């Protein structure tokens, strides 16, 4: 069943900032039966500059004007998380599908409200957890489903980042470490990708506990989190995220341990999957990422809206990830 009454998806973007330069928005013009027709930023000069730079026909400095543009029939919310719930409510009220950046919102409660709003309006809600559609992560899913490492026993996530890993902005100007805007700092920004992908492979996490702290005092958000979790299917996992270590300790590694071997991969940076199986047999797979990293997922969103396929990243799955993170840091 089609989810829009049109032969093509005509996108409007709320918050055409950095994520829209390469990662996402340009793909909307390259996908079959998809167009980018309008962008919006509160700063009109920046909105106009983006539209001119990317050859977008319309620009706005008002969210409501873009939402109510009759040519726009689907809306991508690319703002920081604090605006996601309110903008989703307004887009849904206009009867238009929503594609929202990750994390889905600041809190699990906001996520539930977003899902309720879209359900009531009868519009679909998608979340930009694009690793669900990238080739390296699909390879991991394939290896698990094929039983390459046997029955999965344990998952271990290790992410250690030095204090200066994000040097583009100072803490005072970085919304990602302001809980009022982002919800949960770098943990929420980065761990959400890791935990959502594991949800994609293994299903919902049903048991969570953890500890968190702000050890360095550089900003308001928590800068270290440890957590344990259990999936509905019985697989166990643990994770440690620290964002104030030394450069020498930097690490991004997830290990999936099975009864017949293990799989190791990074979530960010270089894309590879390393597999070790019985008899110490090793295989290493390297992958090239698409120029626009969100394009494979946006293609699935477009296909879903046009009734050609099903998108695996929805408001329901996105909300589960928020709930897991909140339980790890002790918010719920």
> What's the CATH number for 9-130+294-315?
3.40.50.720
Give the integer Cα–Cα distance in Å for 157 and 243. 14
Q: Please tell me the number of Cα atoms within 13 Å of 294 on its side-chain side.
A: 26
Listed in sequence order, the residues at least 6 apart from 231 whose beta carbon sits closer than 8 Å to its beta carbon are 198, 202, 203, 204, 205, 206, 237
Instruction: Give which of 84, 38, 77 is closest to 57, Cα–Cα.
Output: 38
**Predicted confidence pLDDT, tens digits, the chain (332 residues):** 578 989 999 999 999 999 999 999 999 999 999 999 999 999 999 999 999 999 999 999 999 999 999 999 999 999 999 999 999 999 999 999 999 999 999 999 999 999 999 999 999 999 999 999 999 999 999 999 999 999 999 999 999 999 877 655 555 668 999 999 999 899 999 999 999 999 999 999 999 999 999 999 999 999 999 999 999 999 999 999 999 999 999 999 999 999 999 999 999 999 999 999 988 899 999 999 999 999 999 999 999 999 999 999 999 999 999 999 999 998 55
CB 133 within 8 A of CB 160: no
DSSP for 66-113, written as a single string: HHT-TT--EEEE-S-GGGHHHHHHHHHHTT--EEEPSSS-SSHHHHHH
Give the integer Cα–Cα distance in Å for 269 and 147. 27
CB 30 within 8 A of CB 295: yes
Predicted pLDDT of residue 40: 98
Burial of residue 331 (CB within 10 Å: 0-12, 13-18, 19+) is middle
Predicted pLDDT of residue 279: 82
Domain ranges, ordered by start, for the chain: 9-130+294-315, 135-289
Give the integer Cα–Cα distance in Å for 102 and 322. 10
Predicted pLDDT of residue 172: 60
DSSP for 225-293, written as a single string: EEEEEEETTS-EEEEEEEEEE-GGG-EEEEEEEETTEEEEE-SSSS-EEEEEEGGGEEEEEE-PPPSST
Q: Is the dihedral of CA 329, 192, 154, 239 positive or negative?
A: negative
Topology of domain 135-289, CATH: Dihydrodipicolinate Reductase; domain 2 (3.30.360)
Cross-strand bridge partners of residue 251:
160
DSSP reduced 3-state for 322: helix
Predicted pLDDT of residue 18: 92
Give the integer Cα–Cα distance in Å for 236 and 228. 8
Residue with tokens 């969103």: 301
Q: What angle do CA 187, 262, 271 make, to 5 degrees?
A: 55
CB 130 within 8 A of CB 294: yes
DSSP reduced 3-state for 155: strand
DSSP reduced 3-state for 330: coil
């Amino acid at each position: 069943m089609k989810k829009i009454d049109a032969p093509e998806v005509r996108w409007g973007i709320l918050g055409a900032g950095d994520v829209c330069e390469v990662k996402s928005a340009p793909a909307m013009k390259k996908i079959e039966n998809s167009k980018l027709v309008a962008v919006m930023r509160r700063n009109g000069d920046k909105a106009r500059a983006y539209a001119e730079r990317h050859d977008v026909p319309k620009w706005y400095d008002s969210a409501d004007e873009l939402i109510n543009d009759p040519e726009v029939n689907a809306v991508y919310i690319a703002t920081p998380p604090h605006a996601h719930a309110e903008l989703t409510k307004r887009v849904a009220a206009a009867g238009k599908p929503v594609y929202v950046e990750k994390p889905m919102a600041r809190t699990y409660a906001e996520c539930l409200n977003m899902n309720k709003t879209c359900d009531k309006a009868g519009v679909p809600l998608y979340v930009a957890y694009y690793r669900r559609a990238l080739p390296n992560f699909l390879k991991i899913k394939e290896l698990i489903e094929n039983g390459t490492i046997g029955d999965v026993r344990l998952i271990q996530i290790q992410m250690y980042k030095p204090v200066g890993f994000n040097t583009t902005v100072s803490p005072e100007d970085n919304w990602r470490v302001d809980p009022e805007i982002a919800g949960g700092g770098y943990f929420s920004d980065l761990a959400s990708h890791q935990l959502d992908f594991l949800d994609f492979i293994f299903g919902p996490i049903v048991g969570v506990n953890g500890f968190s702290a702000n050890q360095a005092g550089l900003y308001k958000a928590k800068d270290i989190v440890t957590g344990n979790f259990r999936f509905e299917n019985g697989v166990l996992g643990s994770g440690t995220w620290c964002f104030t270590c030394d450069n020498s300790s930097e690490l991004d590694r997830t290990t999936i341990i099975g009864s017949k071997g293990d799989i190791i991969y990074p979530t960010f940076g270089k894309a590879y999957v390393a597999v070790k199986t019985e008899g110490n047999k090793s295989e290493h797979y390297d992958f090239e990422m698409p120029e626009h990293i969100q394009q494979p997922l946006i293609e699935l969103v477009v296909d879903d809206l046009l009734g050609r396929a099903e998108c695996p990243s929805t408001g329901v799955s996105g909300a589960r990830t928020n709930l897991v993170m909140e339980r790890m840091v002790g918010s719920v």
